[in-house]
Structure 1
């Protein structure tokens, strides 16, 4: 099992904390329930338990996507007395999956670690979306990203989202808080699998507005999770993010370094 370490969301020294996937118990097969067991480990004190802080009503947010970014799950593993976190999952398609552990060890900055899993059995999934898709339909709701300008890397991007039901616009009052925020937006780049987790706001015009800075030009898959009338909805989009014009004009290749 490949452990791909990837910290996100803070600068400076790499954190000594890493989320380890310690059990899968043999091959993971499609259609079969699998228990994933994780343990946060401090490399300076490998045997010590690492307490996690509660962020957005959970100590551990687990995002699982397939390599094509066509399947998405946002889960919250349970905690046992030994400092392990576990969750039962069933994978419907074979292939490579990316597992993002989004958490904060007490006394450290929040971080996101990326791990990979291989799932066996069955037909490989179709390739993912590459065409831009700025609208989505889910549970009788229509969502549309109201920005028309192209998104560019390295600049503050605003992502206003209009939501309608039966042709009638929803406003901020129609949205129920989900995990301590208006909504949760997860974005993952197709090429480098860069991970962004955004907590959007509302205003008088749009029930959901995300603000972020895309780290580099890529095709990003975006999932918005939000609640109305107590029901959780997940809507998916595909966003093309280009290079900033200044970078193109001056040809600053060093802006595209890989982490």
Structure 2
């Protein structure tokens, strides 16, 4: 009888140990699942902020850049001079300071570099050459002394689009600061072309369809044979008066040839914005600027 009791006690102990082992295993799996889920949420937030798609339209903007990307900006000479060539160098690194090695082509280029003067009277869109090991370089010049904002737009392979900015002070005589005043009429003639801009909404937080209609300034004939510029019928860059809000918008129908080119965007907040539409015809790129007020 004592032997039977001893056997029962031993069997109970074995069963209890097995049950404890299973409970400990379930707790361990649960602890691993919690941080993994947290990382997944962070990744979703990062990716969701960078590219917004509407059909074939893609858009990127300041304030949506990845926290895991850094850019080391260098200028040669260190203080650029007005109307003199200078080299702009950018080294793109991850959050640990290691060079990012691979970048996706985005409209035929690995990097788009937008340069604007503080009063938005000057605009340029250039493309630094990738030298490898995270290094980009481009030679350019600034038309006058003063402060310029530079915006680097690129997509590290396997990541979302990144938008990184810096300011540079250029030495030399400065042009008088131009007032950024909304246009009373959204029609401009530039380089022999007339562009009429219409927007179905100029309200902050609402989607707005921007439609450019291009015609020959001399004959008023619609231009229906626009050529691809960087793989699309055109590009639109938008910046707020204070330069804090930036949007780079691609067309809804990239294969359109005009005379209409449509771009969908959302103005992030109320205020005055400058819009630059870039198009190409007969081998020549022309830029049409507009200033609008968003309510």
1:183 maps to: 234
**Gap regions ≥5 residues in structure 2:** 1-46, 52-62
1:19 maps to: 71
For 1:209, which of 250, 256, 262 is the aligned residue? 262
Distance 1:33-1:205 versus aligned 2 partners, 3 A rule: closer
1:30 maps to: 82
Contact 1:69 1:221 in 2 (8 A): yes
Contact 1:160 1:206 in 2 (8 A): no
Equivalent-residue separation in structure 1 for 2:64 and 2:138 (angstroms): 32
Equivalent-residue separation in structure 1 for 2:87 and 2:272 (angstroms): 32
Contact 2:99 2:134 in 1 (8 A): no
1:226 maps to: 279
Mapped pair 1:193 → 2:193: no
Cα shift at 1:56: 0.5
- 1:79-116, CA deviations, whole angstroms, 9 ceiling, x for partnerless residues? 22443111111111111100000001111100111111
Equivalent-residue separation in structure 2 for 1:30 and 1:22 (angstroms): 17
SS in 2 for 1:39: strand
For 1:128, which of 162, 169, 179 is the aligned residue? 179
Distance 1:12-1:169 versus aligned 2 partners, 3 A rule: closer
SS in 2 for 1:18: strand
Distance 1:9-1:82 versus aligned 2 partners, 3 A rule: closer
Cα shift at 1:77: 0.5
Cα shift at 1:194: 0.7
SS in 2 for 1:127: coil
How many residue pairs get aligned? The number is 232
1:250 maps to: none
SS in 2 for 1:152: coil
Distance 1:87-1:180 versus aligned 2 partners, 3 A rule: same
TM-score by length of 2: 0.72
**Gap regions ≥5 residues in structure 1:** 1-6, 243-259
1:256 maps to: none
SS in 2 for 1:237: strand
Cα shift at 1:204: 10
Equivalent-residue separation in structure 2 for 1:15 and 1:119 (angstroms): 28
Question: What is the CA RMSD across the aligned residues, in angstroms?
Answer: 2.4
- 1:37-88, CA deviations, whole angstroms, 9 ceiling, x for partnerless residues? 11101122x1334321111100000000001001011000112244311111
For 1:108, which of 148, 159, 168 is the aligned residue? 159
Distance 1:105-1:167 versus aligned 2 partners, 3 A rule: same
Contact 1:201 1:207 in 2 (8 A): no
Runs of 4+ in 1 over 6 A off after TM superposition: none
2:95 maps to: 43
Equivalent-residue separation in structure 2 for 1:111 and 1:24 (angstroms): 24
Q: Quick check: which one's helix share is greater?
A: 2
1:235 maps to: 288
Larger Rg: 2
Cα shift at 1:131: 2.6
1:145 maps to: 197
Distance 1:19-1:125 versus aligned 2 partners, 3 A rule: farther
Equivalent-residue separation in structure 2 for 1:186 and 1:217 (angstroms): 17
